[in-house]
Amino acid sequence: VTYVGRAVTPVDGLTAIAPRLRETFLRHRYDADGVLDLLGPDVHAALGRGEPVPVRRACRDVGELGTLVRLLLVHDTVDRAAVDGALGSLDVDEAIGAGLLADDGDGVRAAVDVRPLDAGHGTRWMVSDLDGSMRPVDIAPDHVLGVGHASLSLLRATVPAHGSVLDVGTGCGVQAVHALESADHVTATDITDRSLAMTRATMVLNAIGDDRVDLVRGPWFAPVEGRRFDRLVANPPFVVGPPTVTHSYRDSGLDLDGASEVMVSGAADHLVDGGIACMLASWVITGDDWRDRVASWVPDHGVDAWVVQRDVADPALYVGTWLRDAGYDPRTGRGAALADEWLDHLDRSGVHGIGFGFVFLRTTGSPTDLLAEELSHALDDPLGDEALAYLHRVAWLRDHDVLAARLAAAPDVALDRVWTPSVSPGTEPWVEVATRLVRTGGPRWSHDVDDRVAALVAGLRHDGLPVADVVELLGAARGEEIDPASVGDVIAGLVRHGVLVPA
């Protein structure tokens, strides 16, 4: 595959003006809080929905911050003199030459998107291509993706990094910038010069020194051959389709889910012992069990792997969504033709669904432990915390015999009993149909259990007896013999999901 970029405007000059742009942003409070204060929550929400008019109205006569918001967030054509005033020491012509702005007849407009983002650590400014949310744009083949839902979901799912981080397919640098909250150094790769130029500008805008970042061009792991990192993070071009590239931000040039396969199968070779990879991935579903495919990519030895399927789309929904994402109209012309080719390809490949989610891997040197499971409900808590806790729990399970351990229910666990009305005359009016141990926090895992296990969990204490002894006492109390080994797997499953916690 040849990746041929067709940049709309050159952006190499952005890095040179980034320090002065940063000063301007700081002076006029063009940061996440400043913009929210200016617009208020309702108009800010309208901005998020791609509705420029309420934002424009809120920016009337409010000085430099309003000008910056109209220019950089609404993507309006703005009067040159007003922009000159707002840019401070940066001259408008210099900003045009650097690729920040473009001449637009009566005024100037943004040539790229520069926006503040607060993902929980204060403002970071991100440079990316204009996405068409505010005014129509062509999505170029080397379009640099801004911070979207997928980027944010990966940010929330990433285990905090220490030491060195590898960010494969850095795009605008959103994962790399945030990894540097806790990591010492990031190596960020991409196949397009435009992405690397924007990430470089993003780094300078956020006052991140050159000594903390390496930006390297090249596909997959080629730029880091033979190197290992403490963390790996990747939101790769995972879109499932024919082996062609129309847009580098989403197409890998590999057939179907080849991009995810390359990342999942190769990640462990680029992690130090105990290193963790957090990746977005997708997988085609061709057989009865979606887990088979992704499981086949995980090395047989040496990793703990947690695969979390967040969503499944049927081919029609999938193709329509991704065509619209790249600005095609799936109803007519080129859009309709592409939809036909794409659906044909999925059909020929026997794909009846496309799964999407996260893959977490930790290198261990032990036989691989793999769990692939669905988590399709909305999540409030960041998945990154849970992923780290999950990997710790798996490591604990490898080293301990649950029957000999002292365990207790986690503080967020509730026992949920489900009753339905009885249909048999002369019986109790309600019949219990399910008993569940539910974690009310984190991913809210729920395990159906029988009465025996519910009673056993109630009897476990950190300062009490080991599990096997409590099982014996429970058997005596119920007048039945319970073989501790018969509950071992259930107990291990509860530990794995954090329902039971070791002392």
Please select the residue that binds ligand SAM; options are 187, 189, 363, 364, rule is CB under 6 A.
Answer: 189
Q: Which listed range, 20-28, 94-102, 190-198, 305-313, lies at the site for ligand SAM (CB under 6 A)?
A: 190-198
Rounded Cα gap, residues 412 and 68, in angstroms: 45
Please select the residue that binds ligand SAM; options are 151, 158, 187, 202, rule is CB under 6 A.
Answer: 151
Give the amino acid at 320: G
Rounded Cα gap, residues 46 and 162, in angstroms: 37
Rounded Cα gap, residues 161 and 184, in angstroms: 9
Q: Which listed range, 15-23, 66-74, 86-94, 229-237, lies at the site for ligand SAM (CB under 6 A)?
A: 229-237
249 in contact with ligand SAM (CB under 6 A): yes
Query: Do residues 238 and 260 lie in contact, with contact meaning Cβ atoms separated by under 8 Å?
Result: yes
125 in contact with ligand SAM (CB under 6 A): no
Identify which of residues 361 and 449 has a Cβ nearer to ligand SAM in the complex. 361
Strands 101-104 and 107-110: antiparallel
190 in contact with ligand SAM (CB under 6 A): yes
Region of 323 (left: φ > 0; alpha: ψ -120 to 50; beta: rest) is: alpha
Residue 157 Cβ, how far from ligand SAM at the closest point, in Å? 11
Rounded Cα gap, residues 55 and 42, in angstroms: 10
Please select the residue that binds ligand SAM; options are 30, 125, 220, 328, rule is CB under 6 A.
Answer: 220
Identify which of residues 219 and 299 has a Cβ nearer to ligand SAM in the complex. 219
Rounded Cα gap, residues 251 and 204, in angstroms: 28
Q: Which listed range, 87-95, 206-214, 233-241, 486-494, lies at the site for ligand SAM (CB under 6 A)?
A: 233-241
145 in contact with ligand SAM (CB under 6 A): yes
Positions of E strands within 52-169: 78-79, 101-104, 107-110, 113-118, 123-128, 164-168
Identify which of residues 15 and 235 has a Cβ nearer to ligand SAM in the complex. 235
Identify which of residues 171 and 315 has a Cβ nearer to ligand SAM in the complex. 171
Residue 252 Cβ, how far from ligand SAM at the closest point, in Å? 5
261 in contact with ligand SAM (CB under 6 A): no
Rounded Cα gap, residues 112 and 115, in angstroms: 10
Query: Do residues 435 and 415 lie in contact, with contact meaning Cβ atoms separated by under 8 Å?
Result: yes
Rounded Cα gap, residues 349 and 256, in angstroms: 9
Identify which of residues 322 and 445 has a Cβ nearer to ligand SAM in the complex. 322
Residue 107 Cβ, how far from ligand SAM at the closest point, in Å? 30
445 in contact with ligand SAM (CB under 6 A): no
Close Cβ partners of 392 (under 8 Å, ≥ 6 residues apart)? none
Q: Which residues of 257-280 are buried (b: 16+ CB within 10 A; e: fewer)?
A: bebbbbbbebbbebbeeebbbbbb
Residue 286 Cβ, how far from ligand SAM at the closest point, in Å? 24
Helices (H), 234-382: 258-266, 291-297, 315-325, 333-348
3-state secondary structure of 448: strand
Number of residues that bind ligand SAM (CB under 6 A): 23
140 in contact with ligand SAM (CB under 6 A): no
Residue 386 Cβ, how far from ligand SAM at the closest point, in Å? 20
248 in contact with ligand SAM (CB under 6 A): yes
- Residue 200, burial from CB neighbour count under 10 angstroms (0-12, 13-18, 19+): buried
Please select the residue that binds ligand SAM; options are 77, 252, 282, 364, rule is CB under 6 A.
Answer: 252
Residue 174 Cβ, how far from ligand SAM at the closest point, in Å? 5
Residue 66 Cβ, how far from ligand SAM at the closest point, in Å? 28
* Contact string 166-185 vs ligand SAM (x = CB under 6 A): --xxxx--xx----------
DSSP string, 450-503: -HHHHHHHHT--TTS--HHHHHHHHHHHHTS---THHHHHHHHHHHHTTSEEE-
Please select the residue that binds ligand SAM; options are 52, 99, 116, 237, rule is CB under 6 A.
Answer: 237
165 in contact with ligand SAM (CB under 6 A): no
Q: Which listed range, 64-72, 111-119, 162-170, 348-356, lies at the site for ligand SAM (CB under 6 A)?
A: 162-170
Residue 235 Cβ, how far from ligand SAM at the closest point, in Å? 3
Q: Which residues bind ligand SAM (CB under 6 A)?
A: 145, 151, 154, 168-171, 174-175, 189-192, 195, 219-220, 235-237, 248-250, 252
